[in-house]
Amino acid sequence: MVLSKACTYGILASLYVTREANRSKGYVSIGRMSKELNISFHFLTKILQQLTSAGILSSMKGPKGGVALKRNPQEISLVDIVVAIDGMGLFTDCLLGLPGCGEEKPCPVHDEWAGIRADLFHTFRGKSLAETAKRIDELNLRFALPSESEEGGKSIRDFRNLL
Amino acid sequence: MVLSKACTYGILASLYVTREANRSKGYVSIGRMSKELNISFHFLTKILQQLTSAGILSSMKGPKGGVALKRNPQEISLVDIVVAIDGMGLFTDCLLGLPGCGEEKPCPVHDEWAGIRADLFHTFRGKSLAETAKRIDELNLRFALPSESEEGGKSIRDFRNLL
DNA sequence: TTGATTTAAGACTCTTCTATCTTAAATAGA
DNA sequence: TCTATTTAAGATAGAAGAGTCTTAAATCAA
Ligand code: SF4
Ligand code: SF4
């Protein structure tokens, strides 16, 4: 998997918080978020703690507590979330996992992977929480996991449109 | 990690076999290969078994036994190795891991990821074992893991050249 | 102040990936 | 045929990721 589950959930949760912030002031309840996104409450809590200690979210305990964006959602990019949870590895590691990766002694797929890797980085870096959340509303995109009942859907794995 | 360790090793081993095939006829010893690539013998054996049952390699037991390419190395692409070991997931799965991924109900990063995913596929698909092995010789590229002694090198993780 | 609510933190379980070890089967060569 | 060599196959173990559970600490409201 390219992104860890934790990272995926972190992105979805960040977008959720961004949208809620547009609707009402105050902190967003993790319990409510976990229900709406179909993510395990305790697992989600752990992930959000990472984002909190990374300075992306702030949190508050007690009734009316929860998490909130610490900075302006236009200034937070998806790469911030990814790095906070999965680290920079995706954007810096060798595709073949060879230590000492680099221009001096590249492996056979270096040039191509370096380009794709940079694409990935720039894609995530160019997407702020604010505009991504906005696009969700405009285009009615999905960003929650499927509920137990609609699990039947499975992934569409269409090999042909890649050719 | 984008590719599993097993898949990485499978690619390196395939390239090794391809190069050996240019030098001498017959089967390539897994024991010798594991030493030169610095990959655990038993683990490598298991991976090569996958490639054998996938029809990419043929194998022979006993003295002078080993593995050999079953088809012409110009007709085997890196995507064949990846798919045989890691499956098609990398080229078909959602980046966010949402089931039901697709055009009908895409997630917020669909368009970008679909493009990058396709790039990855075409890159691997466009690289045959033959030409990749050739490029290794021409450009003196690396394709083995570092030995225990040169482990010091570590990965170069230069954040800046991505910006 | 008291109690209900909510996040924080850490221990714990479960699964998957990585790697190792043992035994069996096949082959070449003496 | 007999023996050494080499891959095949399955059991086992270790590490990391994913997910759960319990207890503690902070906060609000009555
Ligand atoms: S392609 Fe470049 S970055 Fe990837 S493993 Fe090879 S040397 Fe490293
Ligand atoms: S970007 Fe497309 S492929 Fe990736 S998770 Fe979203 S819908 Fe699925």
Check CB contact under 8 Å for A146 and B98: yes
3-state secondary structure A67-108: EEECCCCCCCEHHHHHHHHHCCHHHHCCCCCCCCCCCCCCCC
Check CB contact under 8 Å for B142 and A2: no
Tokens encoding B152: 């010091």
Cβ-based contacts with strand D at under 7 Å: A 1, 4-6, 9, 40, 42-43, 45-46, 60-65; B 27, 29-31, 42, 45-46, 48-49, 52-53, 59-67
What residues does A29 pair with on adjacent strands? none
Q: What CATH architecture is B5-87+128-146?
A: Orthogonal Bundle (1.10)
B10-35, pLDDT tens digit by residue? 999 999 999 999 998 999 999 999 99
Return the percentage of chain B with pLDDT > 70, whole number: 87
B88-147, pLDDT tens digit by residue? 999 988 888 776 667 777 888 888 899 999 999 999 999 999 999 999 989 888 888 877
Cα torsion angle, B45, B46, B49, B54, sign: negative
Which nucleotides of strand D are protein-proximal, with an atom < 7 A from a CB? 4-10, 17-22, 25-29
* CA of B81 vs chain A CAs: smallest distance (Å): 13
Following CA atoms A146, A1, A55, A74 in sequence, which dihedral angle do they give, to the nearest 10 degrees? -70
Does residue A62 reach within 7 angstroms of strand C, measured from its CB? yes
What is the separation of C-alpha B36 from the centre of its chain, rounded to a whole number of angstroms? Answer: 16
Residue nearest (by alpha carbon) to ligand 1 atom 3: A94
- Kindly list the averaged pLDDT for each block of 10 residues, start to end, along chain A of length 163: 94 97 94 96 98 98 97 97 96 78 78 91 95 91 74 39 43
Check CB contact under 8 Å for A159 and B135: no
Model confidence pTM above 0.85: yes
Q: What long-range pairs does A105-111 form, CB within 8 A, spacing at least 24?
A: A105/B141, A105/B142, A106/B141, A106/B142, A107/B141, A107/B142, A107/B143, A108/B15, A108/B127, A108/B132, A108/B133, A108/B135, A108/B136, A108/B141, A108/B143, A109/B78, A109/B123, A109/B127, A109/B132, A110/B141
Give the start-to-end residue ranges of the domains of chain B.
5-87+128-146
Q: Assess whether the C-beta atom of A110 lies below 6 angstroms from ligand 1.
A: yes
CB atoms within 10 A of CB A132: 23
Residue of chain B whose alpha carbon sits nearest to that of A135: B108
- What pLDDT was estimated at residue B119? 92
Chain B CB contacts of A151 under 8 Å are 99
Which of B2, B89, B101 lies closest to A156 in CB terms? B101
The residues, any chain, with a CB within 8 Å of residue B27's CB and separated by 6 or more, are B59, B60, B64, B65, B66, B67, B68
Residue nearest (by alpha carbon) to ligand 2 atom 2: B110
Tokens encoding B73: 């190395």
Residue of least CA–C1' distance to C5 = A63
CB atoms within 10 A of CB B117: 19
Pocket-testing residue among B109, B112, B116, ligand 2, by greatest number of atoms within 8 A of Cβ: B109
* CA of B62 vs chain A CAs: smallest distance (Å): 31
